[in-house]
Amino acid sequence: MVEHTTRAFDTDLQTLALKIAEMSRLDEAQIRQSIEAVVTRDIALAKSVIAAHDRVDSLQREIEEKAIVTIARRQPMAIDLRDIVGALRICNDLEKIGDLAENVAKEVIILVDAFVIDEVVLQLQRMARLVLHQLARVLASYETRDAAEALAVWRNDLEIDSLNNSLFRECLTYMLENPRNITFCTHLLFCAKNIERMGDHTTNIAETVCYIVEGRTLPDERPKMDLTSSLEAPTLPA
């Protein structure tokens, strides 16, 4: 009876892991396609990103329901309970990352007729590539239960913040140089902020992996260098 129960519990955990893996693949596709839509100003692609988010939301609900049923039936303790709680946390962060990718896609509709600055778009692409790399690393650390790799991802969020700060200053410079740049740069900054927030949710996942593996929480003050909220914007030309 104990062996049967253990086997059933392992099956439940595998189901949760598979659904999280599917969520992560959808998120990665949404991020790539939303950035591609910004670069190419492809409204049809942007709309497909927005539509695809329904599946991410659906997976979140499925994971939550499965986790609750598993806790009720199996009454797990210690690391087994942390596995389920961790899955709930991770699916919540993945859903938020999907929301942020959807936000980027929505900006395409506004940007389609705007004057484009290629240098700024390239910087945005660099940010997105770094977020995708961090996301892939942290999800691999979840699959292998590698707390050291998760901690490395947690610490590397500084690089995303640094790119965001640089893009912020670059956009302000272009906006001051020519009023026709204001619309484009403003909405590119919205995109950049959404990408920066994806990085924050990636570090949340890293914290959860450490919690699952080691049963401890990381310090409240994670390494952070996002200065865009505190930087004072200069007066723009009328």
**pLDDT tens across 6-34, in order?**
778 889 899 999 999 999 999 999 999 99
Tell me, yes or no, whether 237 lies in a domain. Answer: no
Give the Cα separation of 201 and 45 in Å (integer). Answer: 24
Domain with residue 189: its CATH number is: 1.20.58.220
- The whole-number pLDDT of residue 233 equals 45
Higher pLDDT, residue 231 or 220: 220
Phi/psi for 35 (5° steps) reads -70, -40
* pLDDT in the model for residue 235: 47
Q: Is the pLDDT of residue 4 over 50?
A: no
Instruction: Judge whether 8 lies within some domain.
Output: yes
**What is the mean predicted confidence (pLDDT) over 91-108?**
96
> Is the pLDDT at 44 greater than 80, yes or no?
yes
The residue whose two tokens read 């936000």 is 103
d(CA 22, CA 2): 30
b/e code 176-209 from CB counts within 10 Å (16+ = b)? beeeebbebbebbbbbbbbbbbbbbbbbbbbbbb
The answer to whether residue 17 sits within a structural domain is yes
- Residue 24 placed within a domain: yes
- Stretch among 41-55, 111-125, 147-161 having the lowest mean pLDDT: 111-125
pTM score above 0.95: no
In a domain, 238, yes or no: no
Q: What is the pLDDT of residues 141-157, one digit of tens each?
A: 999 999 999 999 998 88
Name which of 192, 198, 199 is nearest 155 in CA terms: 199
Rg (CA), the chain: 20
Q: Number of structural domains, the chain?
A: 1
Does a structural domain hold residue 220?
Answer: no
CB-based contact 222:156 (threshold 8 Å)? no
Residue 58: phi, psi to the nearest 5? -65, -40
237 pLDDT more than 60: no
Inside any domain, residue 222: no
Is the confidence at residue 173, as pLDDT, over 90?
A: yes
pLDDT over threshold 60, residue 238:
no
Element (H, E) at 136: helix 118-144
φ/ψ (deg, to 5) at 53:
-65, -20
Q: Domain range holding 99?
A: 2-214
At what angle are helices 118-144 and 157-177 packed, to 10 degrees? 170
Question: Does some domain include residue 63?
Answer: yes
Secondary structure letter of residue 116 according to DSSP: P
Rounded to whole angstroms, the Cα distance separating 32 from 28 reads 6
What is the Cβ-side half-sphere exposure of residue 66, based on CA atoms within 13 angstroms? Answer: 24
Tell me which DSSP letter residue 77 carries.
-
What is the pLDDT at residue 229?
55
Q: How far apart are CA 90 and CA 93, in angstroms?
A: 5
